């Protein structure tokens, strides 16, 4: 979000649990480098301090953020989320992304979108969208295009069912190497899945029973440890055969 000079040393708090008030970086001792701050961090003059309790994460070359698992989502720019259309206005669609405020999706934010071919979304349409900017106090802005203007999988999700999870589970589902539950299910069943970082995921398959199985298995697996997950999945997949 903000660019500031920094050094090559990463903070010694990386991958540890931090609480609001912890200072993770002191910028006064750093050279001319940019660091990127993700969610949960704030710049206070020369120090970077933590706003949200969770685990501090760092990816090369210079991105820091705090990861925690909630049921409620705090919008952040660059996130891919699932949203439900609530209302249509002349300039925007009002979309609920399960955050504190409704988000605006401009009617032209589609690939090849002009005033003549504005899509018609009825109330309750499920969309996969990208958060363009999300400032506190303002309604977040969304887009159905990626940064370069291509459609890139964003848009309406048809059929299927949307399940709720927590933000932590959504992140685990999107991590690489892939989530073991997804891998194990994918080996035996064929289904389509779209994960929104705002605590929901959408599953579609040719049969309703497959959708229900995959969705419930993922939801249940959140509270199980690695070993328990393996056992649970083995039992589940055996019972389908």
Partner 1 sequence: MDQRQANSLIMTVNEKKFIESALLSDIRVDGRRPFDYRNLTIRFGSEDGSSEVQLGHTQVIGFVSAQLIQPYRDRPTEGTFAIYIEFSPMADPSFEAGRPGETAVELGQIVDRGLRESRAIDTESLCVVAGKLVWSIRIDLHIIDNGGNLVDAANIAALAALSTFRRPECTFGGEDGQEVIVNPPDLWEPLPLIIHHLPVAVTFGFIGKENNVVIDPTHYEEAVMGGSMTATLNTNGDICAIQKAGGDGVLQSVIMQCLRIASVKAGDITSKIKNAGSIDVAKYHMERLTLGSDVSTAGHSNMEIGSQSNERDETNKKNTTAKGFSGRPASWDPYSRGVDGDALKASLASRVTAPPDKHIKSSRQVKADVAKSSQRSSDTNSFQEAKKIGLQTDESKTLKDAVKPRQKRRINKSTSNSAAT
Interface with partner 1 (CB under 8 A): 84, 86-87, 94, 96, 100-102, 122, 124-126, 139, 157-162, 202, 207-209, 211-213, 215-216
Residue 138 vs 151, nearer CB to partner 1: 138
Residues 94, 104: contact at Cβ < 8 Å? yes
> What's the min distance (Å) between Cβ of 126 and partner 1?
4
Q: Which two tokens stand for residue 182?
A: 């997804």
Residues 129, 144: contact at Cβ < 8 Å? yes
Residue 6 vs 198, nearer CB to partner 1: 198
Residue 126 vs 172, nearer CB to partner 1: 126
Residue 13 neighbours by CB under 8 Å, 6+ apart: 22, 24, 56
- How close are the terminal C-alpha atoms of the chain, in Å? 49
> What's the min distance (Å) between Cβ of 158 and partner 1?
7
> What's the min distance (Å) between Cβ of 228 and partner 1?
19
How far apart (Å, rounded) are the C-alpha atoms in residues 110 and 155? 8
> What's the min distance (Å) between Cβ of 195 and partner 1?
15
Residue 64 vs 163, nearer CB to partner 1: 163
Cis bond leading into 177, ω under 30°? Answer: yes
Residue 148 vs 223, nearer CB to partner 1: 223
Place of tokens 């660019």: 3
Centre a 10 Å sphere on the Cβ of residue 4 and count the other Cβ atoms it contains: 16
> What's the min distance (Å) between Cβ of 225 and partner 1?
22
């Amino acid at each position: 979000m903000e660019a500031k000079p920094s050094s090559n040393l990463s903070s010694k708090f990386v991958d540890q649990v931090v609480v609001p008030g912890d200072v993770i970086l002191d910028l006064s001792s750093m050279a001319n480098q940019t660091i990127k701050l993700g969610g949960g961090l704030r710049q206070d003059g020369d120090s970077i301090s933590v706003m949200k309790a969770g685990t501090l994460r760092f990816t090369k070359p210079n991105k820091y953020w705090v990861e925690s698992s909630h049921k409620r989502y705090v919008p952040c720019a660059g996130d891919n989320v699932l949203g439900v259309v609530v209302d249509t206005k002349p300039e925007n669609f009002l979309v609920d992304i399960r955050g504190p405020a409704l988000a605006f999706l401009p009617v032209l934010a589609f690939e090849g979108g002009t005033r003549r071919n504005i899509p018609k979304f009825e109330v309750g349409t499920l969309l996969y969208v990208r958060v363009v900017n999300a400032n506190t106090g303002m309604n977040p802005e969304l887009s159905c295009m990626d940064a370069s203007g291509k459609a890139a999988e964003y848009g309406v999700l048809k059929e299927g069912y949307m399940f709720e999870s927590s933000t932590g589970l959504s992140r685990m589902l999107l991590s690489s190497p892939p989530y073991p539950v997804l891998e194990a299910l994918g080996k035996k069943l064929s289904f389509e899945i779209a994960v929104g970082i705002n605590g929901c995921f959408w599953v579609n398959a040719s049969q309703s029973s497959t959708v229900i199985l995959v969705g419930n298995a993922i939801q249940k697996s959140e509270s199980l440890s690695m070993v328990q997950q393996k056992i649970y999945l083995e039992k589940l997949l055996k019972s389908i055969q």
